[in-house]
Structure 1
Amino acid sequence: MYVKLIQPKMLRRPMDTDLKARMAPPLGLLTIVSILKDNHKVVLENENIEKINFDDKPDLVGISVTVDVLNRAIEISRKFREKGIPVVAGGIQITSAPDFIPQDAFDSLCIGDAEGTWPEIIKDAQSHSLKKIYHCKENFGADDIVSPAYDFVKKSKYLYTNIVHTSRGCPFRCDFCYNSSKNHKYINRNIDDVLADIKKINLRHIMFIDDNFIGNPAWTRKFLEELKPLKIKWNAAVSINVANDGELLDLMKEAGCKSLFIGFESINPSSISNVHKVQNNIKNYENAISEIHRRGIMIHGSFVFGLDGDSTETFKTTLDWIVKNKIETVTSHILTPYPRTKVYEELKKADRITSTDFSKYNTAHVVFKPKNMSAEELYEGYLWIYRNVYSLKNILKRLPDCKEQRAAYLTFNLFYRKYGKFTDFLCKIISYKLVGKIAQLAGRYL
């Protein structure tokens, strides 16, 4: 069979440039490539970096769907289905909320991991008997996980191709997160498989893109011991409770950790308690930051605004706290009620959802009624945080005490955020791959 896999184009947020869209290739679709490529012709088209070829005639189309690209995915599907080509939709939105997908949008929905669904999808497509829904098998585990087809990546089109996942899902169920929907579970990969991916990439810097790298601390310890001999540098996303385990932090440092993405979400205790972020204890935030910084590890902090405990004062309070604690980089989000999360159900019940245009569900639009401020105040505060975190004054104030961190810190703050448009222009001239290499040479390990 000839199978075309498609990543629909994401809509840029106000602070983003094309650097965001070209950050890294889609591992989910590359996993499907691995499943199929030995026995079928496979093409992967990422609309963020290239146009979709609607003129060819594949036997089957597969589309990866997040909620913000759902509208575009439906448009793409329609164009192929009008030519009699069946379309399968999968991805995090389909798995989290399949009942939100219009019945006539796709021929089939793929719920759960690709390895547990696509072999059956291909078999049925070959016999022209596709089912409406495919569920991943119940006993899906680590031995079933397939490595992405790294050799399939168009490296010149991306800033980074050094991305590896060590797990699927997250053990926590925060109310606003996709992982709080019922179809998600947490699985660690086999350590030997992860090490094989790292060696296959053959670079000295790796980005682990798990939802939570320390979701199973016992597994993480074993993995880090195996990772140390490779002498690579890496970054990962973790929950804040990593700082409760000094031995684990020491081991992470020894194994090459350079930075950690941490979802602080809010410094307001009432905001955190309302969304069951049980792993976050705000009283311990500053001590946790100190413990991480003391080991020469940088922090990328993630914050959500618009939680029910927030007011207009929250923005300045958060900015002052970020600057005081020298959080090296920051991602800001407007609370977004992803379908079938607990936050969505609660806001819907309270008649507080104001938009069902899912293209706006990208954490950069206000699609609900905030409790203690207007929608306009929430949006303007969100933009204000970005402008002020990445002002030259606050970039200098947050300069890391550890001199070894400064090249990486300045590279990200200046050339990705503050002057991202110039960097994007440069990438278009000399290629994203080359600029990514330059960033790594400058010490960019975020």
Structure 2
Amino acid sequence: MKVKLIQPRMLKRPMDTDLKIRMSPHLGLLTVANIIRYECEVTIENENIRAIDFDDVPDLVGIAVTVDILPRAIEIASIYKEKGVKVIAGGIHITTASNTIPKEAFDSLCIGFAENTWPQIIEDAKHGRLQSQYVSAPLESGDDIASPAYDLIDKTDYLWYNVVSTSRSCPHRCDFCYNSSGTHQYINRNIEDVLEDIKKLGTKHIMFIDDNFIGNISWTKQFLERIKPLKLNWNAAVTMKIGQHPELMDLMKETGCQSLFIGFESISSQSLSSVHKMQNNREEFERLINELHKRGIMVNASFVFGLDGDTPETFKNTLNWIISQKIDTITSHIVTPYPGTEFYKRMEEQNRIFDYDLSKYNTSHVVVSPLGMSKEELEKGYLWIYKELYSIKNIFRRMPKTMGTIPAYLTFNFFYRRFGHFTAKVCNLLTYKRIGLFAEKLSRYM
């Protein structure tokens, strides 16, 4: 049986370049490929890299779906369905909001873990009895989580191929996050399996791409003890909870942590309380940033604008605070109601969603009426703060005090953000792999 797995083209946000869409491969599709590869002939196509080959007629097509690419996924599915090819849709949006998917869009929906669904999908497809949906049972343990098929990656296509997951989902339930849907099971992988993945990649620089690398503090400590001998450089995403564990921050630095992505979301307590993100507050932010910077760990801070409690002054206040704290890198979003989340339900109840074009649900468009400002003020402020943060003046004003972090800081702020379009052109000439390796070498000076 021939199975084609597809990642549809994403629409870039105003601040994005081709570096964003060529950042790393889709681990979900690679995991599905590894699950079924011994039963099927599997190919993977990423429309962000090159155009989809619609001339073929596979036996089965699987499409990974996030909310903003659902319209494109439906277009792709219709092309294959016209040929008589059965099309399966899976991914985080399908798992979170399967009841919002048009019934005629796909032949079947894969809801939940691929490990508990795809073997049955293949078996049923072989015998012509494909069901309209497959719902995963909870995994019994981390031993059940499959590794990605890393050998199927064309490394020249991406800046980074060295991406590893240590867990699934997140134990927190923030209103605007997919994980608030209640359909997600948080679970850590078997440590030996993660170590084997790192070994397969054959690199000393690893990006852990979990929703929350410290969702289980005990597991994280055990894992970090195991990677000590590997002498890695690594990055991950964590929550503010890390600030409660100074010994864990020490262990992170000792094992090669270079930077941590942290969802601060807002410096306004009123705005944070509007989405029930009560684990965050400004004073704790400042203490945590100081503790991480003391250890030479960079901070990639994420902010969400348009929350109830935000006003036009929020952008300037946030900018000044970011500069005062010398936050190393910043990712900003306009609050977006992902279908299936608690935030979506509340916005619908309040009749505040005015745009249902899901292609705009990529956190760079205003689709919900804000309370403290106009739609135009939110759009303008969102673009303004990105422009200001990555101006040459403010890049130098945020310069780290720790000398060892400066090479990585300048690489990201100048070559990824400030001059990202130029860097993308260089990548097209020299391959993304070569530029990624160059950036990795710079980071080793930390």
Matches within 5 A, 1:18-417: 18-417=18-417
Q: CA deviation at 1:282?
A: 2.4
Does the CA-based 8 Å contact 2:117-2:135 persist in structure 1? Answer: yes
**Partner Cα distance (2:36, 2:351) in 1:** 45
Does the CA-based 8 Å contact 1:29-1:64 persist in structure 2? Answer: yes
**Partner Cα distance (2:280, 2:268) in 1:** 11
SS of residue in 1 equivalent to 2:3: strand
Q: Following TM superposition, where does structure 1 have runs of at least 4 consecutive aligned residues deviating by more than 6 angstroms?
A: none
> Unaligned 5+ residue runs, structure 2?
none
Aligned residues between the structures = 446
Matches within 5 A, 1:419-434: 419-434=419-434
Name the aligned partner's letter for residue 62 of structure 2: G
Report the TM-score when normalising by structure 2.
0.99
Q: Deviations over 1:398-426 (max 9, x none)?
A: 00000000000000000000000100010
Does the CA-based 8 Å contact 2:407-2:445 persist in structure 1? Answer: no
What is the aligned-residue RMSD (CA, Å)?
1.0
**Partner Cα distance (1:380, 1:246) in 2:** 39
**Partner Cα distance (1:138, 1:252) in 2:** 30
Q: Deviations over 1:195-254 (max 9, x none)?
A: 110111010100000000000000000000001111101000000120111101001111
Name the aligned partner's letter for residue 200 of structure 2: K
Identity, in percent, stands at 59
**Partner Cα distance (1:185, 1:445) in 2:** 38
Does the CA-based 8 Å contact 2:303-2:332 persist in structure 1? Answer: yes
SS of residue in 2 equivalent to 1:333: strand
Q: CA deviation at 1:281?
A: 2.7
Name the aligned partner's letter for residue 234 of structure 2: W
Q: CA deviation at 1:271?
A: 0.6
**Partner Cα distance (2:291, 2:138) in 1:** 40
| Cα 1:259–1:159 shift into 2, 3 Å | same
> Unaligned 5+ residue runs, structure 1?
none
Q: Deviations over 1:281-301 (max 9, x none)?
A: 322111111011110100000
Q: CA deviation at 1:322?
A: 0.4
Does the CA-based 8 Å contact 1:258-1:445 persist in structure 2? Answer: no
Q: CA deviation at 1:6?
A: 0.3
Q: CA deviation at 1:317?
A: 0.2
**Partner Cα distance (1:100, 1:412) in 2:** 38
Report the TM-score when normalising by structure 1.
0.99
**Partner Cα distance (1:334, 1:79) in 2:** 33
**Partner Cα distance (1:445, 1:89) in 2:** 43
SS of residue in 1 equivalent to 2:354: coil
Name the aligned partner's letter for residue 147 of structure 1: S
Q: Deviations over 1:356-380 (max 9, x none)?
A: 1000000000001000101111011
Q: CA deviation at 1:155?
A: 0.5
Q: CA deviation at 1:144?
A: 1.0
Does the CA-based 8 Å contact 2:175-2:342 persist in structure 1? Answer: yes
Q: CA deviation at 1:38?
A: 1.9
**Partner Cα distance (2:138, 2:39) in 1:** 26
Q: CA deviation at 1:170?
A: 0.2
**Partner Cα distance (1:274, 1:192) in 2:** 40
Does the CA-based 8 Å contact 1:111-1:135 persist in structure 2? Answer: yes
Q: CA deviation at 1:444?
A: 7.3
Q: CA deviation at 1:10?
A: 0.1
Q: CA deviation at 1:344?
A: 0.5
SS of residue in 2 equivalent to 1:29: helix
| Cα 1:187–1:438 shift into 2, 3 Å | same
Name the aligned partner's letter for residue 68 of structure 2: D
SS of residue in 1 equivalent to 2:367: coil
**Partner Cα distance (2:82, 2:136) in 1:** 28
**Partner Cα distance (1:139, 1:414) in 2:** 43
**Partner Cα distance (2:295, 2:250) in 1:** 7
Name the aligned partner's letter for residue 20 of structure 1: K
Q: CA deviation at 1:445?
A: 9.5
Does the CA-based 8 Å contact 2:138-2:185 persist in structure 1? Answer: no
Which moved further from structure 2: 269-278 or 24-33? Answer: 269-278
**Partner Cα distance (2:110, 2:140) in 1:** 15
**Partner Cα distance (2:6, 2:432) in 1:** 21
